[in-house]
């Protein structure tokens, strides 16, 4: 009874925290006229920046918000990730990084307003643009359309989020000024019935007015705007503002100009040929940014820097972009070359933007930049082989089917799927897994690696197999992130979709499918009798080790470090059970951000688990903590 009683008290406390009144609970009125946003009737410029709470450890929300205020921002723009809030249909999680109402309260405590960007589609280089993977299994589902199954699911999501944020709007004494309708819909479609239905759902669950945000072009604005909803643009401010003035003629869509996403730089994706994107420290590029932002403010207009602070694509949360017939899988780091880097430290351009903003606001209104501890260095530590990945799959497959089962049909959203086929008749030729790799397939015959088929290449490698009767063919498939921007995001099944062929005509039928989502670490990691022998070309292996933070550090910013695995090829990392994300030798990301908040600090041991997908014999798995991040690229050992 004591345990049940504690659970009830915890639940009640959580409910009370959602409805807790804001510190400065003063009901205000935020609206606009043809040229100005108006706060209680007085003109207001939104000096904003994008920062998504679900990409930041909640222990650091206050610090990141203080850094926004110290750069001169007055408004935070925030995406909300539906898939994180509703991982399974009807199951809601508003704790930890998903406690959005707490983030709103903290923003208000720091004197900041918020613009809410809840989607349902948000793009943001996030997994499937924020859609839950289970949507693909709903009969009749068609995303971002006037489709009843999709609108029903959207309504359920926005109703729950609306309840969670019931006291967060400015009309209720909270910081939320306005809410975005969908996200750059003109880049996808022109279904006005869908936009209207979504607008109606938002209006029923959120106070304040709505706005749309689209690229600066006629096609974008024609498709993405809606009668009665304020139209805004993103990208180049001059192009966007001129396009709205020229192409938006409906007076119910007109009002002050806002560059809803001003890009200081751009996205990083995994590739040996893709270098880290950044602007800070480049004089010409920095001058362009400062001139643009200065021009916006001098014209009495508003902006949001995308990103002000990018944060991290934790675990398997990254999305992917489709371009030139290949998947550009976004890195775990969402540093984005932002003014405030992934670890919450100001860059050179942060200080330059701060100086520029100070010319447009009353003297003394921008607080001093807080003093921050340096990043922590951790000496080399060795990780030991602990468990073969195949040992956690279980004896019974999740599905036994004629053709391979998709990841989603297994009730699985992220991670890996292992497919096994016992060869009944000898066959040889080029292997064709379904309609193409989704997204990276390591091919094994009798436990030995024979090749990799990787859709991050426009022309993936050709893998030839020579199968004898009785051979075991294994296809190990990794979901590298569902597409978040493109017409292809309509259908985002993972694993193997369709038949597996060898050569032109032979279809391999009869598959056992094993689900390996890795939503948590296997308990058998501590079973020392299962430690595997490392051999080249063999199956993935978990390694374990201990990271000891230096004396004087604690579980806060003073413990922050960047974890590098110089001998690793590709895999995933957990620290004290927190899934940091992926690593891949191709770069440009060569280290993973480890928040001090995830560490014990004070020279205490911290458990590090590494899943290496391509272990190498006679090669130590070494970890080290870096105080300064190094971005670089290496050749892909599995390149076509």
The DSSP call for residue 486 is S
Percentage of the chain with pLDDT > 90? 89
Q: What confidence score (pLDDT) does residue 25 get?
A: 57
Q: What confidence score (pLDDT) does residue 162 get?
A: 98
Which residues touch 7 (CB under 8 Å, ≥6 apart)? Answer: none
Residue 19 has pLDDT above 50, yes or no: no
96-150 pLDDT, tens digit per residue, is: 999 999 999 999 999 999 999 999 999 999 999 999 999 999 999 999 999 999 9
Rounded Cα distance, 508 and 496, in Å:
13
422-478 pLDDT, tens digit per residue, is: 999 999 999 999 998 999 999 999 999 999 999 999 999 999 999 999 999 999 999
164-218 pLDDT, tens digit per residue, is: 999 999 999 999 999 999 999 999 999 999 999 999 999 999 999 999 999 999 9
Which residues touch 603 (CB under 8 Å, ≥6 apart)? Answer: 548, 549, 550, 551, 553
Examine residue 307 and say whether the peptide bond preceding it is cis (omega within 30 degrees of 0): yes
Q: What confidence score (pLDDT) does residue 604 get?
A: 84
pLDDT band at residue 20 using 50, 70 and 90 as cut-offs:
very low
366-396 pLDDT, tens digit per residue, is: 999 999 999 999 999 999 999 999 999 888 9
Higher pLDDT among residues 535 and 212, named by residue: 212
231-260 pLDDT, tens digit per residue, is: 999 999 999 999 999 999 999 999 999 999
Tokens standing for residue 523: 């308990």
Rounded Cα distance, 131 and 151, in Å:
12
Angle of CA points 244, 250, 256, to nearest 5°? 50
341-357 pLDDT, tens digit per residue, is: 999 999 999 999 999 99
Q: What is the mean pLDDT of residues 405-434?
A: 97
Q: What is the mean pLDDT of residues 267-283?
A: 97
Rounded Cα distance, 75 and 64, in Å:
13
> Catalytic site residues?
184, 261
Rounded Cα distance, 70 and 339, in Å:
12
């Amino acid at each position: 009874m004591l345990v049940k009683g504690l659970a009830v008290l915890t639940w009640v406390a959580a409910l009370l925290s959602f409805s807790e009144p804001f510190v400065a609970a003063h009901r205000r009125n935020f609206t606009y006229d043809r040229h100005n946003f108006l706060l209680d009737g007085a003109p207001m410029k939104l000096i904003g920046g994008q920062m998504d709470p679900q990409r930041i450890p909640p222990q650091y929300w206050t610090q990141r918000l203080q850094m926004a205020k110290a750069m001169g921002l007055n408004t935070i723009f925030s995406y909300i990730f539906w898939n994180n809030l509703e991982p399974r249909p009807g199951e809601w999680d508003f704790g930890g990084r998903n406690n959005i109402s707490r983030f709103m309260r903290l923003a208000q405590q720091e004197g900041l307003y918020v613009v809410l960007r809840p989607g349902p589609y948000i793009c943001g280089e996030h997994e499937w643009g924020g859609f839950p993977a289970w949507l693909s299994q709903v009969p009749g589902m068609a995303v971002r359309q006037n489709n009843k199954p999709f609108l029903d699911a959207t309504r359920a999501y926005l109703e729950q989020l609306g309840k969670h944020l019931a006291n967060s709007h400015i009309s209720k004494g909270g910081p939320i000024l306005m809410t975005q309708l969908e996200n750059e819909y003109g880049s996808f479609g022109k279904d006005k019935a869908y936009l209207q239905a979504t607008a109606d759902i938002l209006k029923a669950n959120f106070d304040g007015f709505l706005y749309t945000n689209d690229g600066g072009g006629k096609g974008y604005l024609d498709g993405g705007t809606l009668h009665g909803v304020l139209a805004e643009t993103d990208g180049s401010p001059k192009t966007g503002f001129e396009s709205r003035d020229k192409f938006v003629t409906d007076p119910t869509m007109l009002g002050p100009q806002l560059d809803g996403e001003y890009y200081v730089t751009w996205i990083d994706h995994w590739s040996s040929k893709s270098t880290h994107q950044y602007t800070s420290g480049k004089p010409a590029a920095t001058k362009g940014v400062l001139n643009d932002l200065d021009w916006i403010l001098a014209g009495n207009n508003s902006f949001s820097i995308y990103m002000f602070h990018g944060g991290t694509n934790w675990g398997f949360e990254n999305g992917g972009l489709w371009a030139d017939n290949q998947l550009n899988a976004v890195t775990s780091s969402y540093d984005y070359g932002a003014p405030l880097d992934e670890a919450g430290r100001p860059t050179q351009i942060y200080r330059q933007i701060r100086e520029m903003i100070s010319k447009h606001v009353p003297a003394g209104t921008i607080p001093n930049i807080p003093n921050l501890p340096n990043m922590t260095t951790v000496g080399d530590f060795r990780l030991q082989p602990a468990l073969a990945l195949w040992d956690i799959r279980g004896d019974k497959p999740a599905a036994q089917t004629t053709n391979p089962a998709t990841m989603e049909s297994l009730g699985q959203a992220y991670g890996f799927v292992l497919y096994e086929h016992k060869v009944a008749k000898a066959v040889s030729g080029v292997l064709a897994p379904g309609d193409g790799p989704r997204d990276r397939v390591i091919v094994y015959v009798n436990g030995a690696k024979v090749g990799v088929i990787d859709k991050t290449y426009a022309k993936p490698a050709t893998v030839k197999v020579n199968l004898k009767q009785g051979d075991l063919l294994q296809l190990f498939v990794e979901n590298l992130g569902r597409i978040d921007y493109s017409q292809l995001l309509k259908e985002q099944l993972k694993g193997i979709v369709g038949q597996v062929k060898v050569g032109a005509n032979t279809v391999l039928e009869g598959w056992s499918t094993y689900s390996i989502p890795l939503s948590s670490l296997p308990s058998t990691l501590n079973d020392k009798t299962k430690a595997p022998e490392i051999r080249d070309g063999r199956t993935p292996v978990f390694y374990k080790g201990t990271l000891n933070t230096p004396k004087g550090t604690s579980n806060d910013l003073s413990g922050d470090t960047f974890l590098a695995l110089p001998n690793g090829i590709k895999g995933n990392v957990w620290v004290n059970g927190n899934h940091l994300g992926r690593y891949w030798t191709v770069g440009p990301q060569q280290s993973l951000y480890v928040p001090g908040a995830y560490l014990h600090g004070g020279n205490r041991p911290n458990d590090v688990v590494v899943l290496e997908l391509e272990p190498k014999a006679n090669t130590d798995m070494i970890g080290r903590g870096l105080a300064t991040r190094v971005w670089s690229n290496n050749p892909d050992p599995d390149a076509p």
